[in-house]
Structure 1
Amino acid sequence: MTRLLRACVCMLFVVLTLAGCSRHDDNTYQRYVEGEFVYLGSSQSDTVTRGQTVNASAPVFALESVDEAAGLQQAEQQLAAARAQLADIQTGKRRPEINVTRAQLAQAVANAHKAALQLTRDDAQYRAGGIAHAQLDDPRAEADATAAQVRELTNQVDVALLPGRTQQRSAQNAQVEAARAAVAQAQWKLSQKRVSAPVEGLVYDTLYRVGEWVQAGNPVVQMLPPQNVKVRFFVPETVVGKLALGRALTIHCDGCAADVAARITYLSSEAEYTPPVIYSNQNRAKLVFMVEAHTSVADAVKLHPGQPVAVTLQ
């Protein structure tokens, strides 16, 4: 009786095992949810709520920007100085400076007129025999000197009214453009201290705490846009030929209220071995192809990277 009972139990176990195997769905594959993360960082070195969903263009983090703000202010002041110097070159001297030169010119004209009259009187006396010829040298020299001074100051007034030379204006224009470029660079550096979300998504993780030093180029925030949530699974070589992009499937996960619908978005063209074996006609069934599927944006929030799921082809 004992042997018979043992034989019946073994037979029942085999039957149940075979029955369980017969209920296995060949279109179902076990895998995990994966996410393609977006890493946000800054190109500048400096010091810096995960789990929060943010909208596109929403501020994500800000770094200390005292140095960049001061650099922008300095660049703007240098640009203002270059522009002022260019305007000064283009307009010539100021009116008060020109008025000073004109007053000097008027004084020189008066002196020249006085010297000319004195020369005329002395020349008349010489012709009348009242003075010697040598006495005409001093008034003649004075008249020549004052006349030369009048010409000099007249030219100074004309030059003062002229704008700067073409080469000077070109050089100063270049200085203005260089200062403008410096302002743009300083503005860009300052903008890099405040990083916004490129798309709507979940702030999956923050890689630095406040006060920690962030090296230039290092990511600070790890974001997961809902459209980047996907399921990656592998199908055998005998199945991949039946699949096509856009084919519907369902994703089942423990604890989910209902299965999540998805569609195939990628089919790998290269086969993989699992486990690694040497290829032959006998073990070609071990060849598998990677398949990726995405849900709708609304359903993506129901899945989490690393979550085990069962994928069933429709």
Structure 2
Amino acid sequence: MESAALRPLCTLAAIFLSACQPREPASFNGYVEAEFVRVAAPLAGRLTALSAQRGSLIAAGAPLFVLEHEIETAAVSESQARVERSDAQARNLTHGQRRDELAAAQATLDAARAALVQSESDLKRGRDLATAGFTSGAALTATQARRNADAARVRQLEAQLRAARLGAREDEQTAAMADTAAARAALEQSRWRLAQKSVASPVAARVEDTLYRVGEWVNAGNPVVSLLEPGALKLRFFVPEPMLAQVQPGVVVQAECDGCGAPFRATVRRVASEAEFTPPVIYSKENRQRLLFLVEAWPAPQEAPRLRPGLPVQVRIPAP
């Protein structure tokens, strides 16, 4: 009788003791995934050199590969010649005519001035003769006309000489400067295209894979080398809908894998906003476990060397 009476009490005690014991953390299977840096060239060409070797560690700025660039090299030379020609034309418009041309214009002006002096002397003598009655008025008029023509000729040559000493008009100089700027811009484009044919590593990383061999044609934008940075590994696993509250970003989980040593920690950074697998059933309380959400957690950089992409891992989420 006493034992029968004590049995309910023992059952309650066992329930309370089990409630006081710490709950085991939930465990989920997942895998390691890498975020590769796939390096490509924006231009197409045949692969002529491949410096990157699979598995090697390279520094940022180290050469990776080179595509054929004969056409781009010729384009740079052509653009450079266009710039030099445009510069020369622009400088020429800022100066007057050459020294010999100015000397010839000055000599023509001197001859015209001498002719004017002679015309003025003839006009003075003709006026004196006309006053004395030795020449007619028609002859005096002809002498006056010749003197006026010589004076106009002198003014014309003086204006031409002043213009010869000046440069081109301002509008012409502005147009020449614009041509020079356009030529320089074309040169920069040619140099950029040439630089894109020799590709260097953007980061310090390990060469995970090379996707082409020397001699093969590479289309524009196609990756040639795949790089893996030391901290570019993450854990991917799936949790059911009731566990979402326990795996919010910032939560630290524990993980372990075969052959990678002691368990390590990783920090949750992303939880998918939509279920990865949604069965075509009513969302009842019984089938919530069938809604799985992707979770991504990043291990510390010092843990990355012992992990490999695709490696299966077991992730434990701490109990609330």
With the shorter chain as reference, the TM-score category is: 0.7 to 0.9
Query: Normalised by the size of structure 1, how large is the TM-score?
Result: 0.81
- Please give the alpha-carbon distance, in whole angstroms, between the structure 2 residues aligned to 1:210 and 1:46: 11
Residues 261 and 36 (structure 1), Cα distance of their counterparts in 2 relative to 1, 3 Å cut: same
Query: Corresponding residue for 2:162?
Result: 158
Query: Normalised by the size of structure 2, how large is the TM-score?
Result: 0.79
SS at match of 2:298: strand
Shift of 1:205: 1.7
Query: Corresponding residue for 1:21?
Result: none
SS at match of 2:306: coil
Asked whether 1:218 is paired with 2:217, we answer no
SS at match of 1:305: coil
Query: Corresponding residue for 1:278?
Result: 281
**Which of 71, 86, 90 is the aligned partner of 2:94?**
90
- Please give the alpha-carbon distance, in whole angstroms, between the structure 1 residues aligned to 2:55 and 2:123: 101
Asked whether 1:59 is paired with 2:63, we answer yes
Task: Please list the CA deviations of residues 99-141 of structure 1 after superposition, one character each: whole Å capped at 9, or x if unmatched.
Answer: 3312221122123223333444455445555555555566555
- Please give the alpha-carbon distance, in whole angstroms, between the structure 2 residues aligned to 1:242 and 1:258: 24
Answer whether contact 2:27 2:315 (CA < 8 A) is retained. yes
- Please give the alpha-carbon distance, in whole angstroms, between the structure 2 residues aligned to 1:242 and 1:217: 41
**Which of 69, 75, 82 is the aligned partner of 1:78?**
82
- Please give the alpha-carbon distance, in whole angstroms, between the structure 2 residues aligned to 1:153 and 1:183: 44
Shift of 1:26: 5.8
Question: Aligned pairs, how many?
Answer: 289
Aligned residue runs from structure 1 range 129-144, under 5 A: 130=134, 139-144=143-148
Q: Counterpart of 1:200 in structure 2: which amino acid?
A: A
Q: Counterpart of 2:281 in structure 1: which amino acid?
A: I
**Which of 94, 97, 104 is the aligned partner of 2:108?**
104
Q: Which runs of 5+ in 1 are unaligned?
A: 1-24
Query: Corresponding residue for 1:180?
Result: 184
Query: Corresponding residue for 1:15?
Result: none
Query: Corresponding residue for 1:27?
Result: 26
SS at match of 2:43: coil
Runs of 4+ in 1 over 6 A off after TM superposition: none
Q: Name the % identity.
A: 39
- Please give the alpha-carbon distance, in whole angstroms, between the structure 2 residues aligned to 1:144 and 1:83: 45
For the aligned residues, what is the CA RMSD? 2.6
Query: Corresponding residue for 1:46?
Result: 45
Name whichever of 65-74 and 140-149 sits farther off: 140-149
- Please give the alpha-carbon distance, in whole angstroms, between the structure 1 residues aligned to 2:75 and 2:141: 68
- Please give the alpha-carbon distance, in whole angstroms, between the structure 1 residues aligned to 2:252 and 2:285: 31
Query: Corresponding residue for 1:16?
Result: none
Asked whether 1:288 is paired with 2:292, we answer yes
Query: Corresponding residue for 1:194?
Result: 198
SS at match of 2:276: strand
